[in-house]
Structure 1
Amino acid sequence: MATIRDVAKQAKVSVATVSRVLNKKGYVSKEAEEAVLKAIKMLDYRPNSVARTLYNKSSGMIGLVVPDITNPFFPELARAVEDVALTYGYTVVLCNTDEMVEKEKKYFEALKQKYVDGIILTTSSLSTEDYDRLELPIVALDRELGDNIPTVVSNNRQGAREATEHLIHRGCRYLAHFRGPVGVAPADERYLGFKEVAEQHEIPYKVVNADFHIDKAESAANELLTNTPLIDGVFAGSDVTAAGVMKAAHTLNFSIPDQLKVIGFDGIPLGSMLVPPLSTIEQSIYKMGALSSRLLIKQIEKKPIDAMYYDLPTKLVIRGTT
């Protein structure tokens, strides 16, 4: 295997000149650059990526930090981030925190040691000051972390309002909202949108916490529907949560949509596979991930960003559960 010294010898230049050509740093004459590139091709020389990373303090890698990779929403985001990153020559490192503060901190330490060029965050366990201390380009995806961090979200409150209006329009007169984690911006916004519409129409409602987990949603729905069987409409904070509610309803012999109407939020493929297919508020998941990737790469490459905050619209998708 050829070494950098072999390239220098073949091109009749110094090792330092070869290094400047490889790292695109420092002056190199046109003739010397052409000789080095010709020697690299002739010898099939492949630079030591670890050495280049240490030299440049750059790895060509992007960190994508997600709270729960088992939630189908996040693999869809990851696919979009990766697709765009690869077209610009970056690779993506996926970090799953399980919503644990210590795990998130360990990942940040590891990513910094690997000299990642930037991070896309879909978690919000730490403070804005903690993220500032990373001293890395950051984009907040599906979260809001501070005014100084570029942010890409969906219009969660408006989507929740539309979901709740849809249930009422379909004749529901006693609603329940299975919300996500308290303190997580998308969950809080969806709760507020639901609450505003239910109170505006003077519709009685219950709110239970399901944390965007199918098992917690099923358990909570079993208890709620047993104790409050008059509930006839459910707005679930995610499609995964809605699946848990539907599972509990089936166990309790609630007919969907005749006795109980259910609508979710996200628009993941899982929803169309359920029986009956799930009505949902669809997010532009792929667009969110792709936009986040482009925003981060612009920061890394010191290019201007058009805006710091992107709030993408949602869409009501009506299926069999309503």
Structure 2
Amino acid sequence: MVTIRDVGKHAGVSVATVSRYLNDKGYVSEETKNVLKKSIQELGYKPNQMARSLSTKKTNIIGLLVPDITNPFFPELAKAVEETAFSNGYTVVLCNSSEQQEKEKHYIQSLQQNYAAGLIVTTNYTEAEYYRHIKLPIVALDRRLDPTIPTVTTNNVEGAKMATNYLLEQGCKHILCIRGPQGIGVAEDRMKGFLEVVNNAQDIQVETITSPFEFTEAEQKAFNILSAFPTIDGVFAASDASAIGAMKAAQSLGRKIPDDIQIVGFDGISLGALVTPELTTVAQDIYHLGKVATELLLKKIKEEPIDNHLIELPTELVIRRSTK
């Protein structure tokens, strides 16, 4: 195994000079840098990343914190983050908090203690003060935590308005809104967009239920309310997972989609195109969301200037067979 001493001997310099070069600490002339680079390549030297991180208190590790890995939105997001980070020489550690605040804090503390280079957070908690004091470069993804924290999100209000208007255009008169959890920015924004449309519509009846962004609870709650209100002919769900849960509930009640009831989701996950009938959805560009957030974090890690602390990406209504 090639050591730092072997590199120094091969290049004709001291071990201290090799260390300064590898850790980018202290002066090393351009001529010596070129000699060391050549020696490292010829010898096939691989730096000990753990030892290096202890010396520099830096690693090439990026933490990605998600609230629920079983929601298909987050694996698709993670794929974009991982591929973008990897192409820039970084490794992503995925941390699933299972929507437990203490678990989330544990992961953040662990990443800080192990000298992670930075952190991408998509959280269901809104303690802005806590995130503001994290001693790591941080970017918020699909969530707004604090104006001081760079954020990449989607125009959720406009997306929800688009979905609700489409249901009205398709003739829906009694609409169920499956909103997301209280206090989460994206859920509040999607609810806001929905209400802006229905509050200005005439002769519309509205029902609302609250559900996590997941299948099972959405299905159970949708089943109960669809049973109680058989005239519901339209559903706007604040996530595709909730929409798919509602589809299953409607089908179990013998409601034909889209003849008896039309359903629109929000997210644009791949699964939406695989269910029967295929789900009409307000699609986010999930890959682009993850890519932009990672590129923003890399800028923070490199201490490069960030011109825009809030990047809001557009949505697109993808019409499939769950609507007429």
Bucket of the pairwise TM-score, normalised by the shorter protein: over 0.9
Match of residue 214 from structure 1 = 215
Deviation at 1:6, TM superposition (A): 2.2
Match of residue 97 from structure 2 = 97
The 3 A distance-change label for structure 1 pair 126 and 280 is closer
Q: Can you list the C-alpha shifts for 1:84-138, whole angstroms capped at 9, x where unaligned?
A: 2122211111111111110001000110112111111110425111112212111
Partners of 1:160 and 1:193 within 8 A in 2: yes
Partners of 1:100 and 1:125 within 8 A in 2: no
User: Do residues 143 (structure 1) and 143 (structure 2) align?
Assistant: yes
Alignment of 1:90-169 (within 5 A): 90-169=90-169
Deviation at 1:151, TM superposition (A): 0.9
Aligned mates of 1:137, 1:41 — CA distance in 2: 32
Over the aligned positions, Cα root-mean-square deviation in angstroms equals 1.3
Match of residue 276 from structure 2 = 275
Alignment of 1:215-254 (within 5 A): 215-254=216-255
Which 4+ runs in 1 deviate beyond 6 A?
Answer: none
Aligned mates of 1:254, 1:31 — CA distance in 2: 76
Aligned-pair identity (%): 51
Alignment of 1:165-314 (within 5 A): 165-202=165-202, 203-314=204-315
Q: Can you list the C-alpha shifts for 1:19-43, whole angstroms capped at 9, x where unaligned?
A: 0111222122344334433332333
Partners of 1:213 and 1:240 within 8 A in 2: yes
Deviation at 1:320, TM superposition (A): 0.6
SS in 1 for 2:64: strand
Q: Can you list the C-alpha shifts for 1:231-252, whole angstroms capped at 9, x where unaligned?
A: 1100011111111101111110
Alignment of 1:60-99 (within 5 A): 60-99=60-99
- TM-score, structure 2 length as denominator? 0.96
Paired amino acid for 2:284: Q
Partners of 1:237 and 1:264 within 8 A in 2: yes
Partners of 2:132 and 2:148 within 8 A in 1: no
Match of residue 47 from structure 2 = 47
SS in 2 for 1:217: helix
Deviation at 1:192, TM superposition (A): 1.3
Partners of 1:267 and 1:283 within 8 A in 2: yes
Aligned mates of 2:16, 2:239 — CA distance in 1: 56
Paired amino acid for 1:59: T
Partners of 1:124 and 1:145 within 8 A in 2: no
Range with bigger deviation, 232-241 or 12-21: 12-21
Paired amino acid for 1:283: Q
Paired amino acid for 1:194: F
Which ranges in structure 2 are unaligned for 5 or more consecutive residues?
none
Deviation at 1:77, TM superposition (A): 1.0
Deviation at 1:11, TM superposition (A): 2.5
Give the number of aligned pairs.
322
